[in-house]
């Protein structure tokens, strides 16, 4: 039996409730990470008895006992990463590096990329951390899988060699179905009645406005929140002022007033915002859409996997290198700013959505080559078609992983959500109380030891040591 350890908020083989995923953020801050892990897991699960467990690496102290258990229990450590080469990730990147150094099993990095626009200036503090990471991983694998050309150039500037130390493989999510992608079903724009929209807090006003106008002009348009923070607000019927959450609420304050967050917004009140806690529910909903527009990369990849024409407004480098690599229809946020009268209809009618099919097979072959170079068994090398072991293992999963607006729910459902969240807060409060109590008791023992030691030393100084 193959046993795999994976860096993820949860194993895609775990079937958790909506409440568990929301309360404990088991999608990894956004649904994109959930789709990423789902795709990788499906690829590497080659047999029905393959075991795939997940660990998180944020603010986790890996003890010698934990590392010893990983080395004994698992055959492989798979590390799906996204925009890991960034300022905010340095501490966690170092934590992963230190774990990799102590592991004796192969460590495979998939889908890693940079974030900053001005590479030489913005990423200078990252250089040493990235070198430590790369050097550690390359001792446990043949090469690293990265997102795109911008990350490739960054690594080349650090002295790493393309197709030797790293391979450009794009995002594993695009290869969920292997070499095949659904053909986008493009219909005349005047027939479009069902649209999905994704966005993020920090976008230029013109891009936010494009999304707003699109949502207002198409009656059956749905906004799909793409962060755990927004999904919690949606589920609980709160706004960002009554549910502050660190940097997330800080960024929310920068969004325009018409951004659909909080209970006062019409999209929220009218039940036209929806989220998902598993990939199956997400893709099933998207199959009901006729067009997807947004600025989130996985909010665009998901509808592509559902066979829906999808278009992305590119806000930054991390999105740009993926849309360029995978040939995903896109335009820059700068273009929208320079042409504020641009409409969704204009973008839709000018776009050949079939362009995503161009070169997909070759990109897929590169992805498989990456697995084979690292000796990672996978369903694609085995030529497993149709129903894969992962599909069978998750066939019984709850397909109702849907998060609807609190205000469109029945009174009974609203009460259930409130009680669930209250119970969660009580449980967390108990945990924190126990931590404080334990910390206090440890401090008390330390103080007692120090006092006793001081008294002992004072006695020796005054009376001499007893013989």
- Amino acid 426: pLDDT: 87
pLDDT above 90: percentage of residues in the chain = 72
How far, in Å, CA of 178 to CA of 32, rounded? 18
- pLDDT tier for residue 119 given thresholds of 50, 70 and 90: very low
- Amino acid 159: pLDDT: 97
Once rounded to an integer, what is the mean pLDDT over residues 260-268? 82
Does residue 445 register a pLDDT over 90?
no
Instruction: Provide φ and ψ at 63, rounded to 5°.
Output: -75, 165
DSSP state of 224: -
Q: Do domains 3-177+359-395 and 189-357 have the same CATH topology?
A: yes
Once rounded to an integer, what is the mean pLDDT over residues 93-119? 90
pLDDT digits (tens, 9 = 90+) for 306-333: 999 999 999 999 999 999 999 999 999 9
DSSP conformation letters of 71-95 = HHH-SEEEEE-SS-BSGGGHHHHHH
| Under 8 Å between Cβ of 248 and 298 | no
Once rounded to an integer, what is the mean pLDDT over residues 60-76? 97
- The dotted CATH code for 189-357 is 3.40.50
| Under 8 Å between Cβ of 403 and 277 | yes
Helices 411-463 and 228-236 cross at an angle (nearest 10°) of 120
- Amino acid 262: pLDDT: 73
- The CATH class of the 3-177+359-395 domain is alpha beta
DSSP state of 374: T
How far, in Å, CA of 204 to CA of 202, rounded? 7
Lowest mean pLDDT among 123-132, 146-155, 448-457: 448-457
How far, in Å, CA of 120 to CA of 127, rounded? 10
- Amino acid 424: pLDDT: 87
Once rounded to an integer, what is the mean pLDDT over residues 425-436? 83
How far, in Å, CA of 399 to CA of 408, rounded? 20
Once rounded to an integer, what is the mean pLDDT over residues 57-83? 96
- pLDDT tier for residue 459 given thresholds of 50, 70 and 90: low
Once rounded to an integer, what is the mean pLDDT over residues 43-48? 97
**Residue of higher predicted confidence among 263 and 247:** 263
- Amino acid 57: pLDDT: 96
Positive or negative torsion for Cα 95, 98, 99, 105 = positive
Rg (CA), the chain: 25
Task: Sheet with 3-7: list strands edge to edge.
Answer: 51-55, 3-7, 76-80, 107-110
- Amino acid 205: pLDDT: 94
The strand ranges marked E within 262-415 are 274-276, 291-294, 310-314, 330-332, 402-404
Helices (H) and strands (E) in the chain, counts: 19, 13
Q: Rounded to two decimals, what is the model's pTM?
A: 0.90
Lowest mean pLDDT among 342-351, 437-446, 452-461: 452-461
DSSP conformation letters of 116-185 = -SSHHHHTGGGHHHHHHHHHHHHTSSS-EEES-HHHHHHHHHTT--BTTTEEE---GGGGTTTT--PPP-
Smallest CA-to-CA distance from 440 within 450, 452, 430, 448 is with 448
DSSP state of 408: G
DSSP element (H, E) containing 220: strand 220-223
How far, in Å, CA of 186 to CA of 289, rounded? 11
How crowded is residue 262: how many other Cβ atoms within 10 Å of its Cβ? 19
- Amino acid 102: pLDDT: 98
Does residue 92 register a pLDDT over 70?
yes
- Amino acid 355: pLDDT: 97
Once rounded to an integer, what is the mean pLDDT over residues 362-370? 98
Helices 297-305 and 317-326 cross at an angle (nearest 10°) of 30
pLDDT digits (tens, 9 = 90+) for 163-193: 999 999 999 999 999 999 999 999 999 999 9
How far, in Å, CA of 127 to CA of 355, rounded? 35
Domain ranges of the chain: 3-177+359-395, 189-357, 423-467
pLDDT digits (tens, 9 = 90+) for 270-307: 899 999 999 999 999 999 999 999 999 999 999 999 99
Close Cβ partners of 22 (under 8 Å, ≥ 6 residues apart): 228, 231, 232, 235, 277, 403
- pLDDT tier for residue 146 given thresholds of 50, 70 and 90: very high
- Amino acid 431: pLDDT: 83
- Amino acid 466: pLDDT: 56
| Under 8 Å between Cβ of 24 and 70 | no
Lowest mean pLDDT among 62-66, 296-300, 368-372, 405-409: 405-409
Burial 390-425 (b: 16+ CB within 10 A, else e): beebbeebeeebbbebbebbeeeeeeebeebbeeee
Does residue 467 register a pLDDT over 70?
no
How far, in Å, CA of 132 to CA of 134, rounded? 6
The strand ranges marked E within 304-372 are 310-314, 330-332
- Amino acid 248: pLDDT: 56
How far, in Å, CA of 169 to CA of 327, rounded? 13
Q: How far apart are the first and last CA of the chain?
A: 65
- pLDDT tier for residue 337 given thresholds of 50, 70 and 90: very high
- pLDDT tier for residue 240 given thresholds of 50, 70 and 90: low
DSSP conformation letters of 425-444 = HHHHHHHHHHHHHHHHHHHH
CA torsion 166→362→11→91, rounded to 10°? 30
């Amino acid at each position: 039996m193959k046993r795999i350890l994976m860096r993820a908020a949860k194993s895609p083989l775990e079937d958790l409730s909506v409440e568990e995923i929301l309360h404990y953020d088991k999608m990894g801050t956004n649904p994109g990470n959930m789709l990423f892990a789902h795709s990788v897991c499906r690829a590497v699960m080659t047999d029905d008895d393959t075991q795939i467990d997940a660990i998180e690496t944020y603010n986790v102290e890996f003890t010698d006992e934990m590392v010893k258990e990983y080395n004994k229990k698992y055959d492989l450590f798979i590390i799906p990463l996204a925009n890991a080469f960034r300022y905010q990730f340095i501490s966690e990147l170092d934590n992963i590096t230190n774990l990799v150094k102590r592991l004796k099993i192969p460590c495979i990095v998939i889908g890693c990329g940079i974030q900053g626009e001005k590479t030489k200036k913005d990423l200078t503090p990252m250089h040493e951390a990235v070198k430590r990471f790369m050097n550690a991983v390359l001792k446990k694998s043949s090469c690293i899988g990265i997102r795109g050309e911008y990350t490739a150039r960054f690594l080349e500037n650090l002295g790493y060699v393309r197709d030797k130390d790293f391979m450009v493989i794009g995002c594993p999510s695009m290869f969920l179905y292997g070499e095949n992608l659904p053909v986008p079903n493009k219909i005349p724009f005047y027939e479009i009645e069902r649209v999905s929209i994704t966005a993020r807090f920090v976008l230029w006003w013109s891009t936010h406005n494009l999304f707003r106008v699109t949502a207002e002009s198409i009656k059956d348009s749905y906004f799909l929140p793409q962060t755990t923070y927004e999904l919690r607000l949606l589920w609980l019927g709160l706004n960002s002022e009554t549910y502050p959450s660190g940097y997330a609420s800080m960024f929310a304050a920068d969004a325009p007033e018409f951004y659909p967050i909080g209970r006062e917004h019409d999209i929220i009140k009218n039940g036209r915002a929806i989220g998902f806690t598993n990939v199956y529910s997400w893709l099933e909903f998207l199959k009901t859409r006729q067009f997807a527009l947004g600025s989130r990369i996985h909010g665009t990849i998901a509808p592509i996997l559902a066979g829906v024409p999808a278009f992305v407004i590119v806000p930054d480098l991390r999105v740009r290198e993926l849309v360029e690599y995978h040939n995903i229809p896109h335009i820059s946020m700068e273009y929208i700013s320079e042409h504020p009268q641009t409409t969704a209809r204009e973008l839709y009618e000018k776009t050949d959505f079939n362009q995503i099919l161009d070169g997909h097979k070759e990109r897929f072959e590169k992805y498989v080559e990456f697995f084979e170079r690292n000796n990672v068994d996978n369903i694609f090398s085995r030529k497993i078609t149709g129903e894969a072991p992962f599909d069978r293992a998750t066939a019984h999963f709850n397909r109702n992983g849907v998060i609807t607006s609190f205000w469109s729910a029945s009174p009974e459902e609203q009460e259930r959500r409130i009680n669930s969240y209250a119970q969660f807060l009580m449980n967390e409060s108990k945990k924190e109380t126990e931590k404080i109590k334990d910390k206090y008791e440890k401090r008390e023992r330390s103080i007692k030891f120090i006092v006793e030691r001081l008294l002992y030393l004072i006695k020796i100084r005054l009376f001499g040591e007893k013989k």
